[in-house]
Amino acid sequence: MDIQQLLNGVTLGSLYALIAIGYTMVYGILRLINFAHGDVFMFAGYWVFFGYFLFKLPWWISAVLSVIFTAAMGWAIERIAYRPLRHAPRISLLITAIGMSLLLEHIIIVLPWAGGIQKQFPQPEFMKKIFQVGGARVQAVTIWVPVIAAVCLLGLLYLLYRTKVGRGMRAIATDMETTELMGADINRIISYTFIVGSALAAVGGILWGCRYPALRFDIGIIPGWRAFTAAVVGGIGNVIGAMIGGFILGMAEILFVALFPAYSGYRDAVIFMILILFLLFKPTGIMGKALKEKV
Amino acid sequence: MKLNRILTLFALAALFGFIAWGDKNLDRFLWQVLNFGAIYAIAAVGYTVINGITGQFSLGPHGFMLLGAYLVTLLILPLEQKKIVWLFQPLAWPFSEFSLPYSGFILALIAGGVLAAIAAVIVGIPALRALRGDYLAIATFGFGEILFVLVVNLMSLTNGPMGITKIPRYTNLWWSIGALVVITYAAVRIKYSSFGRALRAIKEDELAAQSMGINVFLMKLVAFVFSAFCAGVAGGLYPTLVGTVSPDPFRFFMTFYLLIIIVLGGLGSITGAVVMGFVFAGIFEGLRILDTAIVPGMRMVFFSVLLILVMLFFRRGLFGESEFTWDWILGLFRRRRT
């Protein structure tokens, strides 16, 4: 395996890690598989697209606005569709999330500036540069992606372990009722969770666009499922596990395609097989703790 | 009790009279909507047995429909057509040698259901034993997606994403509504048997059901297999109605439609699923104008908003868990009299 493959794997892995964190944080707190998360990720690419081509903003301003708008979307989705169902059966929540996912996809199809056809994500010049590293030709984006992802992940760890909101998130994940009884504002902390998760997904979506510039309404689905698989592999509910799981999945995918190019059409089947096998035999993943069943 | 049975017989006679008249004389659009409605209703009745009555959230019916659709197509496609369709890779062995005549259609449909049921056993034994709630949903969803990938890639059986054309259009109102009547009858019998009560006990409280001596795993498995059988039959009626088959109609959207149907009908209500199956087909075909006149995709925006609103404000659906019964209608009259 040469250095180029290795870098590709690391890049893909960091993208999966950025998305997987949103799944794992929401699952840790609400026990909800947020079906709409992959589509929030997809929307981030479109925000940049709108900012850059529609409003003619500079690329980096579009990117920053995209992160802000995507985070606001995450907040709004929780506020409108998930919060009213806080005390409903969990399956109702899952059905609403499925509805939200399809709604987001079809909003893009319906919008006249986007539509169901493929669009080109605006790649900035500094991402496109190519250099030589030890005989391999490397695009700047494969270096930028892991670096930016690492900064975001360190920031997240700081937020989780060194701030009050982060402590609140960890407290809710351990026991929501007790946290509420201690006087913490549950709703505010859950809103923050969605904002942080969506902002990270937005960073992931923008970087994804720089790496794979095809933009379409359904580009969030497959990366979303791979990232969800990464979250399960890493132990769902565990943020560090999600990062590790993301890297494992990214490397595994690049390896699979490199070793069995003839079977690359089956790689989604392989990903889902990994997901199902983990759910069946190691549902706590490699980092997670077993959840006790409440009687 | 006796009155109910007489009323049911009259209703069935009226229904078959309507089919005998309508199959030839109905306007093409309405005929198509009724057929689609019956297909959706068949799959939805099975879906509500596992999802609504047993409370085990499966997201896999599109995969089971896919199996039924392709097996029925492979069984009944005429040999000449089989030679034309598989251009790049020849059709795999057993199917390349024979094709069933019209009289074998019922066998093909049952085979489609049985194949889906066998797949359900294979998935269900590990999944239903170990998983519940959203993990079960994800595992069944993943299974459906794996089947989808296989169908796209196994060219020698499915002809891949190009699909198969010129399938004999055997499905008519007799087949679709006939199958729906049989499956609805079976589902209602299941719901009100001791088996059905066990299923509802599992939904309410699995641990309590287990301590009452119910074999929870076996009950879930049988309900799951029944629902897969229904989905397989519904899938088999689909290509023989539209005349073509490709993986596309059996994407996750199909499960989403079925979910809308059983949620609107009331999770756990069989008659609710039947009624909403037809209503959904009517709205879905009727709103095609939204897609053609305004923007493509508008219909799905409407349906996803509808699903979210129903979940937020009207979680009971049309019938809740209860059924549309003669007693209920007669009760309406009695109340008026007093």
pLDDT value for A117:
84
Q: Please tell me the predicted confidence (pLDDT) of residue B22.
A: 87
Distances (CA, A) of B97 to A265, B77, B81, B89: 29, 11, 12, 15
Is the CB of B161 inside 8 Å of chain A's CB atoms? no
Cβ proximity of B226 and B124 under 8 Å = no
CB contact under 8 A, B311 and A265: no
| Domains defined along chain B, listed by start | 2-337 (1.10.3470)
User: Nearest C-alpha of chain A: how many angstroms from B124?
Assistant: 11
- The number of domains in chain A is 1
Mean of the per-residue pLDDT values of chain B: 90
Contact of B139 with chain A, judged by CB distance below 8 Å, is answered with yes
pLDDT greater than 50 at residue A23: yes
Answer whether residue A227 is part of any domain.
no
More confidently predicted of A9 and B132? A9
DSSP string, B261-279: HHHHH-TT-HHHHHHHHHH
Q: What is the domain range of residue A195?
A: 3-15+32-219
Structure tokens at B38: 């019956």
- State how far the Cα of B207 lies from the Cα of B184, in Å rounded to an integer: 29
pTM of the model: 0.90
Is A238 contained in some domain? no
Contact at CB, B145 and A265, closer than 8 angstroms: no
What was the pLDDT predicted at B271? 93
pLDDT on residue B135: 87
How near does any CA of chain B get to the CA of A252, in Å? 18
Closest CB to B312: pick one of A84, A105, A280.
Answer: A84
Residue A26: inside a domain, yes or no?
no
User: Bridge partners of A131?
Assistant: A138
Residues B297, A110: C-beta atoms closer than 8 Å? yes
Q: Which of A95-104, A235-244, B289-298 has the lowest mean pLDDT?
A: B289-298
Each residue of B28-48: pLDDT tens digit?
889 999 999 999 999 999 999
- For chain B positions 194-223, those within 8 Å of chain A (CB to CB) are 207
User: Which tens digits make up the pLDDT trace of B66-108?
Assistant: 999 999 999 999 988 888 888 777 788 788 888 888 889 999 9
Is B304 an interface residue toward A (CB < 8 Å)? yes
Q: Does B291 touch chain A (CB under 8 A)?
A: no
Model ipTM value: 0.88
- pLDDT greater than 50 at residue A295: no
CA–CA separation, A45 and B105 (whole Å):
49
Kindly state whether residue A255 falls inside one of the protein's structural domains: no
Assign 3-state DSSP to chain A and report helix, strand, coil percentages, each to 5.
75, 5, 20
Q: Answer whether B137 sits within 8 Å of A94, measured CB to CB.
A: yes
- Give the range among A74-83, A130-139, A277-286, B119-128 with minimum mean pLDDT: A130-139
- What is the C-alpha to C-alpha distance for residues A237 and A170, in angstroms, rounded to an integer? 10
B279-325, pLDDT tens digit by residue?
A: 999 998 888 877 777 777 888 899 999 999 998 988 887 787 778 78
Residue A110 lies in a domain: yes
**Residue B308 to residue A103, Cβ atoms within 8 A:** yes
Residue A148 in any domain: the answer is yes
Q: Which of B308, B315, B316 to mutate to test the interface with A (most CBs of A within 10 A)?
A: B308
pLDDT at residue B189 greater than cutoff 90: yes
Q: What is the mean predicted confidence (pLDDT) over B179-202? A: 94
Is residue A52 predicted with pLDDT exceeding 90?
yes
In this prediction, residue B5 carries a pLDDT of 86
pLDDT at position B238: 95
d(CA B10, CA B2): 13
Q: What is the pLDDT of residues B233-261, one digit of tens each?
A: 999 999 999 999 999 899 998 999 999 99
B7 touches chain A (CB under 8 A): no
Q: Which of B88, B29, B65 is nearest to B253 (CA)?
A: B65
The answer to whether the Cβ–Cβ distance between B295 and A112 falls below 8 Å is yes
* pLDDT score of A294: 47
Q: What DSSP line would sit under B16-83, residue for residue?
A: HHHHHHHHHHS-HHHHHHHHHHHHHHHHHHHHHIIIIIS------HHHHHHHHHHHHHHHHS-HHHHH
Tell whether A248 is covered by a domain.
Answer: no
- Residue A133 above 90 pLDDT? no
What is the per-residue pLDDT across A250-280, written as a single tens digit (0 to 9) for each? 999 988 888 888 888 888 888 899 999 998 9
Site of tokens 């199909």? B254
Buried b (16+ CB within 10 A) or exposed e, A221-259: bebbbbbbbbbbbbbbbbbbbbbbbbbbbbbbbbebeee
CB of B57 less than 8 A from some CB of A = yes
Determine the Cα–Cα distance for residues A236 and A223; give it in Å rounded to an integer.
17
Contact A33 B295 (CB under 8 A): no
Using a pLDDT cut of 90, give the percent of chain A over it.
59
* Contact predicate B15/B7, CB 8 Å: no
Judge whether A266 is closer than 8 Å to chain B, CB to CB: yes
Interface of A with B in 201-230 (CB under 8 A): 225, 228
Axis-axis angle for helices A267-281, A221-234 (nearest 10): 30
User: Whose CA is closest to A122, among A199, A206, A40, A188?
Assistant: A206
pLDDT at site B288: 82
How many residues are recorded in chain B?
Answer: 338
- Among the listed ranges A112-116, A149-153, B226-230, which one has the minimum average pLDDT value? A112-116
Residue A232 lies in a domain: no
**With an 8 Å Cβ cutoff, are A116 and B296 in contact?**
yes
CB atoms within 10 A of CB A191: 17
